[in-house]
Amino acid sequence: MQQATHNSETMLGWFHDGNHDKVTEHLLNTLRFFNNQSYSKLAGQEREFLNLFLHDMLYMFTLPSYRLNQQQSLQFILQNPLICNLVAMSNIGTTDQALELILTSRHTNNVGKVLTLYSPRNTLHINISQMLDANPYLTNIWYGTYCGSFTSVMANEHAINRLREHLTNPDERLDTLTNQHWPYFGMTYVDHVGDRHRKKKINESIQTRHVNLQIRNTSSPGEDKPKIAVFSDRWNTRSSVYRNQAEFLETLQDDYHLTLVHAVIDDRSLFDTSIFDDFMYIGQANSNAVNLQQLIENDFRVAYYPDVGMSPQSISLANVRLAPIQMCGVGHSVSTFGSLIDYYLSGEDVERAENPEDNYSERLMMLPGYGIIHNQIEYEPTNPAPDESRFLVNCPWYSQKTNYEMLLVLKEILEESDAPLHFQMFPGSSSTILNGHISFAADVEQVLGKENVTVFAELSYEDYMARMEMGEITIDAFPFGGCNTVADSLHIAKPTVTWEGESWYNRIGSAMLRDVGLEDWIATNRDEYIELVLELIANKRKRQNIVKKLGDGGADAAFANESKKHFKAMFDYVVANHEALVAEGKRSALRIDAKTGEVVS
């Protein structure tokens, strides 16, 4: 791995010579170097280099005579989550001491320095309202950037509480337009109850930004082969979005003209374009917003978003009226709560029976089934022999799902189990964002004990599935549960326990268990979850019965694709009747009668 260079004497020489810009350029370039790395472990010279660099950077920040202008402060603040992660995996731990020195010294303009170093891991409390008074521009940039720490700090008790504090009850002057993706996407993991309010505010801010935008759409009802724009930068065979929605969109290709629109990657070879008539790259205006120039005049009848919330570009687009009819699928499986999306695709078997509409700002299009179709998994199980020395428990949870409360649940299971347990954590790529894996793994190990858990760095799908096969059982996360990870577990015939809540994202796994005849392993509260996991660990015969049931084709029901025809029927109905549906003004879900195939509004 290529290494950056840093020499304390050289940097101090620049400083004493008055060449502060050279110091700043060096610090920022070294931070960018670390941003481009993904460490799963750190030892020897790499650790020494990191410690030395951070020590010198923090020292420079504490010097009143080292000043940053507005643009330099901006560049440093944008590295806030990265600095948080780097300091956490170094020997320094937090930036508390440096912050105290900055705040108590004779700094005349310290806002940029404070906001660069202030992260959820700090025990020191900073009054953000005072920062807004001093510099609202930089403080707003800090807010959106600060929220990006959620992918690496959810397992830390103090950090998750501090993050919740700033996300759920912020100063109303924070507009969240800078790095809007982090608070928008992360809010559901940080506070799945309060996310409705905060996402609504973000949507309103984006819509205000576009208030003077004039889209000229020339589509009309009753067109022959209406044009559909599918907006996604994740339409490839490895993406969970593709795995869950590809078969639905395939049903549209004969009767509609389909265009795949993407904003980030200008390389057609990275997408599956087999069902599309056209392919449009629109580019980005900046890191948050797309370039709308090619869409100002369009003839799309429907704008379909498979994954609103999973990229900043999708959030921006969902808040522009590009087409008369706008729909989204279960990509990031939570309502946009106030965007300009008209309809949200979901499944009758997953949503709660009473008032599912309450979880959405969009009108629900409810299909029989899950609202998704799991593609058949190509991985061929190898059925390895179990580890006789310990009982391996699979936790295929992204790092943002691995919250401190769930770790306490695992700790209780660990303490109450008669069998020696070892948890296998699979955070995937999420823990590597902004070099967060080492600090995330350390937080997990702090709660569970290093000897009781292995936190895997990002694995290939084949390696991940091979490791999952070594586990005896799989247990789901809460409040944001798994979908494809539960499908993975059922495919390799692993006994699985889920914890069912009130939203699609913590009900989909349970719906799948019901369909494969494992409804006895669905918990509805914390105590029940612990009890079921312990029972499954203790009862080998029950585990063997589950393995046999799943291995004999019992898992096939979770991959059934009968709802393809219902998707097409619902899509056709909405396209044909959208104006009438809007005129009705109803909020009730659109449903399909499974027997007749007719839509009921």
Q: Is 272 helix (H, G, I), strand (E, B) or coil?
A: coil
Residues 112-126 have a mean pLDDT of 95
Of 100-114, 281-295, 409-423, which has the strongest mean pLDDT?
A: 409-423
Evaluate the CA torsion angle 405, 392, 495, 429 in order and state its sign: positive
195, pLDDT greater than 50: yes
> Mean pLDDT across the stretch 577-599?
92
Helix, coil or strand: residue 104? helix
Q: E strands within 531-597?
A: 590-592
Mean pLDDT of 538-560: 93
Tell whether the model's pLDDT for residue 299 goes beyond 50: yes
Per-residue pLDDT band at 56 (split at 50, 70, 90): very high
Candidates 337, 340, 315; CA nearest to 327 is 340
Higher pLDDT, 2 or 513: 513
Per-residue pLDDT of 88-108, as tens digits, reads 999 999 999 999 999 987 666
Which backbone phi and psi does 244 adopt, to 5 degrees? -100, -20
Does residue 414 carry a pLDDT above 80? yes
Which token pair is 398?
């992204």
Q: What percent of the chain has pLDDT over 70?
A: 98
* pLDDT number for residue 4: 83
- Strand pairing class (473-475; 496-499): parallel
pLDDT digits (tens, 9 = 90+) for 478-513: 999 999 999 999 999 999 999 999 999 999 999 999
Q: What is the overall mean pLDDT for the chain?
A: 93
Q: Strand 473-475's sheet: what is its strand order?
A: 453-455, 421-425, 391-395, 473-475, 496-499, 522-523
pLDDT for the residue numbered 1: 41
Q: Say if residue 251's pLDDT is above 70.
A: yes
pTM: 0.94
pLDDT score of 561 more than 90: no
Give the tens place of pLDDT for each residue, 155-164: 999 999 999 9
pLDDT at 240 (0 to 100): 87
* Percent with pLDDT over 90 in the chain: 80
CA distances from 277 to 229, 378, 442, 561 (A): 10, 27, 48, 24
What mean pLDDT do residues 526-537 have?
98
Rounded to an integer, what distance in angstroms lies between the CA atom of residue 551 and that of residue 547? 6
The phi, psi pair for 577, rounded to 5°, reads: -125, 15
Which of 281-290, 341-350, 375-384, 468-477 bottoms out in mean pLDDT, i.e. has the lowest? 281-290
